[in-house]
Chains A and B, each alone.
Chain A
Amino acid sequence: MLDLFLYETNELIDGLEEILLKTENTGFSEDDINEVFRSMHTIKGSSGMMGLDSISNLTHAAEDFFAFIRDNPNVEIDGGEVTDLILRVVDFIKHELNAMRNEDYEQGDARYLVEEIKEYTESVKEGKKQKTFKVHIYFDEGAQMENIRAFGVLNTIENMADIVSTEPMDLDDEKSTEEIQANGFIFIIKSDADENKIKSILQDTMFLKSLQVTEVEKTSRKRKVNIDTTIISDSARNFVSVEVGKLDTLLDIVGELVIAESMLGRTDLGDEYEKAYNNLQRMTDELQNIVMSIRMVPVSGIFHKMQRVVRDLARKIGKDIDLVIKGEQTEVDKKIIDNLSEPLIHIIRNAVDHGIEDANERKTKGKDASGAILLEAYNEGGEVVIAVFDDGRGLDRNRIVEKALSLGLISTPDIPDNEVFNLITHPGFSTTENVTELSGRGVGMDVVYQEIKKAGGKLAIESRKDQGTAIIMRFPLTLAIIDGVSVSVGSEMYIIPALNVLEIFTMKDASLMVSGGRRMIRLRDELYPLVFLGEVFETKGYETDIYKSQLCLVNNDRGQICICVDRVLNKSKIVVKPIPEYLLTEFPLLKGFSACTIMGDGNIRLILDVNAFT
């Protein structure tokens, strides 16, 4: 009962959020208003049934508001304001839905928000119109305690305007003092007073060096982003919605399996045995495919969340940024999706906060005043690529190199761009001194990198000065079943993920050399470090003569290496199982493996962790 309520309400809430974010740009169409009205109405009804008064009251107030604008199509409303207000309703409900899972759940207090909606409804009815202003203040040098001065300014303006946001955000933090000294104090207000009135009031501020009040026009909306409704919100996490067609196929396969089983059960099969066996094999393949496809969910749900992330942060810091979404129907394993949210939010916040310049800076560079972020997903060679591009200032190569040198991460500034940019994934690396609260302090891309690695992905960073930055993540299509290349080493057999194997060759095509005290394989004029698998794992009876062995060219996080094995056997589908934790502590050599699998003959084989080798 609760599960169903949560699931259904979550879906409605996600739908609502989507409409609100869309309409903020385009204005409410009649359909939108009806849709929002219906959703509010449904949530009101079902939460009432569940005895959830606060949600019920809240949605009731929102329903009233939308009923009013539905019945009075000519009334003027500010899309941005409505979105702000109703998104807070959405947030409140989301928060409640998450909290409901706990046994000691108590309803949150929505009275304040209810009042606000009622007031807003009244003000719309009266036709009051508020304008938005951006105020930029500099204090005299040596004025001191700038954060408290900023606080005083807000206190002065408070009774005639609503304060939307401030930069810096947290005036209680002493660090804000330096920020105000350097960049001034910026805040956004909404007021029905005019520019001059606001100026004349702020003019009396002590130690005021300069004051700038500008009306913020409603941002022009050029691009419209359409996203299909999908699942996924935190409390709906363990559900996957499945296309009915897929379930039908699943049922068909199970039906055929039953027939295949009864065929094989016959004792008088004779020549027909092979046919029946092949049939069964085909069924299991199909079964595997369909189950895998059910595990796959489109990235649209998580992409859609980013719309909100960009919007909230951009508004807060007074930037105008368009998020363009491409390929949101691209499907990824559910398990990867679950781990993708956090790093993606981090990357997007970085782009909004540090990547994209403010409007003035952009203008002087000859760029469009509003910034753009492209969030894209597509399939490429058995992998899913998820990439975030921004058209901001790009990474500062010199500062990264400087910092890396001082941290001792590199010994010479003369390294290629891609390696420079990858340095920012190093733990504790951050070149931003004024890290804002939202982007986190001191932790940055290293956390993103770890999270992506945990989800089985890879990360690449590209950047051009004043043109932008691209963060490109690659994930395997699925984590549970992969193609593996079996290799033999002495008495053992190991598996290398097929995705990593670029080439298999013998010493006939290559030569051995030593460079920097290390054995290297020279293949077509390229040098690759050599890893003797038998040596590394101390395997009994491995082939020590490299000229009798086979070599695999394998790519990993850091580049390409040559792995020397006795024989490469075959390629097959394998089911990936984790290595039990206690075994890892017992046998340190197991650290060279990422997982294990159980073969058709019942034997366990270890899967090589190609990133463990350099």
Chain B
Amino acid sequence: MKTVLIVDDAAFMRLSIRKMLEKNGYEVVGEAENGLVAVEKYMELQPDIVTMDITMKDMNGLEALKAIMERDKKANIIMVSAMGQEAMVKDAVLSGAKGFIVKPFRKRPLSRPWRNSKVW
């Protein structure tokens, strides 16, 4: 079972992402409410996948992504973006994010996004 670290400053979002992931057969091994904690937890838990919110206090998602990529080039980080954050997402992709999902999630949000992949 793939392990996931959820990074989001809103507890509600963390909970809904957790529910969706668990329903689809992922194991959520940790949660972080900002970028600083995320980097720390990533190093500690070494999860297979990270879902990374973009707008957060104390190190935003983009900075956290860069910090993690610097420490682990193979990290699989997925950005969680809101509509209208195209420029940030683009920056994230250039900095090594493996993909992104857009909230609010439409139907079947996290069920099949990486079905063909060996990584996921």
Contacts and interface: CB of A to CB of B under 8 A. Distances in A.
Interface string A120-162: 0000000000000000000010111101110110010000000
A207 interface: yes
A208 interface: yes
B107 interface: yes
B113 A140 contact: yes
A142 B102 CA distance: 9
Main secondary structure, interface of B, reads loop
B78 A145 contact: no
Contacts of B120: 204
Interface residues of A, number: 18
B116 A208 contact: yes
Given A142-B107, A142-B108, A148-B89, A206 B98 contact: yes
A203 interface: yes
A205 interface: yes
Interface in A196-220: 203-208, 211
Contacts of B101: 206
Interface in B48-90: 78, 81, 83, 86, 89-90
Contact of B118 (A203, A207, A208): A203
Contact of B93 (A144, A148, A207): A148
A145 B116 contact: no
B118 A206 contact: no
B110 to A, nearest CB: 10
B102 A204 contact: no
A203 B99 CA distance: 12
Given A142-B106, A206-B98, A148 B86 contact: yes
B93 A204 contact: no
Contacts of A206: 78, 98-101, 113-114
B1 interface: no
B90 A207 contact: no
7 contacts: A142-B107, A145-B81, A145-B89, A145-B100, A203-B116, A205-B117, A207-B113
Given A151-B90, A152-B93, A152-B99, 17 more contacts: A140-B113, A143-B113, A144-B106, A145-B89, A145-B100, A145-B102, A151-B93, A152-B97, A155-B94, A204-B120, A205-B117, A206-B78, A206-B98, A206-B99, A206-B100, A207-B112, A208-B116
